[in-house]
């Protein structure tokens, strides 16, 4: 199995644009302010919504499992992506900003 490109939360700027592959309820509870929400199951049909950038795109989920699968698939499609180790749980633990409709929380 090929190694999945990864990055740590501490390596990401606070205003990083992330692709969040969690489900809608997880997203609504709390997400990175500049994140783009594309649930893992919808990724193949919404791939055109990935940000156009020359930089590596970070992909995140709750703890890193779903985003690792997304990264593995996206790499096969030719995208420059990286998995965020520890996911949004680590993002919150690191004290990075969260956005939500109410009080932000990672579920």
Catalytic residues: 61
Sheet holding 18-20, edge to edge: 6-7, 81-84, 57-60, 18-20, 36-37
Query: Which domains, and CATH codes, for the chain?
Result: 6-93 (3.40.250.10)
How far apart (Å, rounded) are the C-alpha atoms in residues 103 and 34?
17
Strands (E) across 35-78 are located at 36-37, 57-60
Q: What is the pTM of this model?
A: 0.94
pLDDT at residue 14 in the model: 85
One pLDDT digit (tens) per residue for the chain, 107 residues = 468 999 999 999 888 889 999 999 999 999 999 999 999 999 999 999 999 888 999 999 999 999 999 999 999 999 999 999 999 999 999 999 999 988 998 98
């Amino acid at each position: 199995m090929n190694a999945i490109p990864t990055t740590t939360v501490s390596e990401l700027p606070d205003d990083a644009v992330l692709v969040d592959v969690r489900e809608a309820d997880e997203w609504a509870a709390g997400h990175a302010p500049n994140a783009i929400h594309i649930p893992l199951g919808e990724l193949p049909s919404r791939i055109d919504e990935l940000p156009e950038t020359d930089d590596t795109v970070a992909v995140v989920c709750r703890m890193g499992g779903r985003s690792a699968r997304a990264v593995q698939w996206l790499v096969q499609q030719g995208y420059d992506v990286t998995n965020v180790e520890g996911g949004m749980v680590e993002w919150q633990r690191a004290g990075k900003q969260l956005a939500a409709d109410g009080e932000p929380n990672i579920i």
